[in-house]
């Protein structure tokens, strides 16, 4: 007996949603996914409330490429090492593992030390040039408490956060801006780290406010195995200052930081 029209429609709907779920799974696992910036550790390049597209094919694939870290892939497939200066999303170690974003500073075999706030890579200081202060308006995403009282300022009657900014240039020519909030011996003067085989050394651009490879877990992240790399930050596709309210759709437009959309890495 042939299926009734109602049963056929139900089956077609289920097939559609199964195909859609499979498409989304493949897209997010192997091609591109999104990531929202939750903290200030990558200031000045990334602000809280930035939304990024992250490409997934750059460093190969592992279980951490899959949603929820499903253990379906053994080891690391089609693995490729990142370049120094890449901004990567990875899965942090530990029982509270979660997705994190930092910048690659050291590759396997590299030695890294921070002296007086300057990175020493393989025995040579990484050039660090003072440039104009980084000035960020205070918003719900980044308020006075996050800024710190000593960095609060006012510009044209608006409260802002002001940090000393520097231009850092890695061997090979990759340049990016970093922030310096002051003298913090535990962050600005470190031991010499030697990156083990199969691992990377990662740092946040907001050097005095980043729990990164300078610190062992649980205070930081330590060295990160290559198989925990999920992808490379590609482009900012949206950014909000936190003033939007879900029940007021018109605020979604006013809260958007339009000038940040389309910024690449």
* pTM for the predicted model, two decimal places: 0.91
CA distance 225 to 22: 28
Residue 43 is predicted with a pLDDT of 98
Q: Which residues of the chain have pLDDT under 50?
A: none
Per the structure block, which two tokens stand in for 151?
């960095």
Burial 213-251 (b: 16+ CB within 10 A, else e): bbeeeeeebbbbbbbbbbbbbbebebbbbeebeeeeeee
The 3-state DSSP class for residue 66 equals coil
CA dihedral sign of residues 115, 117, 121, 123: negative
The residues carrying an active-site annotation are 41, 102
CA distance 215 to 198: 18
Given strand 124-125, what is the order of strands in its sheet? 124-125, 118-121, 111-115, 193-194
Residue 3 is predicted with a pLDDT of 58
Beta-ladder partners of 200: 224
Residue 118 is predicted with a pLDDT of 97
Per the structure block, which two tokens stand in for 187?
């962050």
């Amino acid at each position: 007996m042939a299926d009734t029209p109602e049963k056929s429609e139900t089956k077609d709907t289920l097939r559609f949603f199964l195909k859609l779920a499979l498409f989304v799974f493949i897209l997010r696992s192997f091609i591109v996914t999104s990531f929202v910036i939750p903290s200030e550790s990558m200031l000045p390049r990334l602000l809280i409330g930035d939304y990024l597209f992250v490409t997934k094919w750059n460093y190969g694939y592992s279980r951490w490429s899959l949603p929820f870290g499903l253990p379906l892939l053994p080891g690391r497939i089609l693995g490729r090492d990142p370049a120094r200066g890449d901004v990567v999303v990875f899965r942090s170690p530990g029982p509270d593992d979660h997705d994190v974003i930092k910048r690659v500073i050291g590759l396997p075999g590299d030695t890294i030390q921070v002296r007086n706030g300057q990175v020493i890579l393989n025995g040579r200081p990484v050039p660090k040039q003072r440039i104009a202060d980084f000035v960020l308006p205070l918003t719900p995403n980044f308020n006075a408490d996050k800024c710190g009282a000593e960095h609060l300022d006012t510009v044209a009657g608006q409260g802002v956060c002001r940090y000393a900014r520097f231009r850092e240039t890695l061997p090979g020519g990759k340049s990016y801006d970093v922030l310096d909030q002051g003298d913090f011996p535990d962050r600005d003067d470190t031991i010499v780290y030697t990156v083990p085989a199969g691992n990377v050394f990662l740092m946040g651009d907001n050097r005095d406010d980043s729990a990164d490879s300078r610190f062992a877990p649980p205070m930081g992240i330590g060295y990160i195995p290559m198989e925990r790399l999920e992808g490379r930050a590609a482009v900012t596709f949206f950014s909000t200052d936190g003033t939007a309210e879900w029940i007021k759709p018109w605020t979604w437009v006013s809260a958007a930081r339009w000038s940040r959309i389309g910024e690449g890495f």
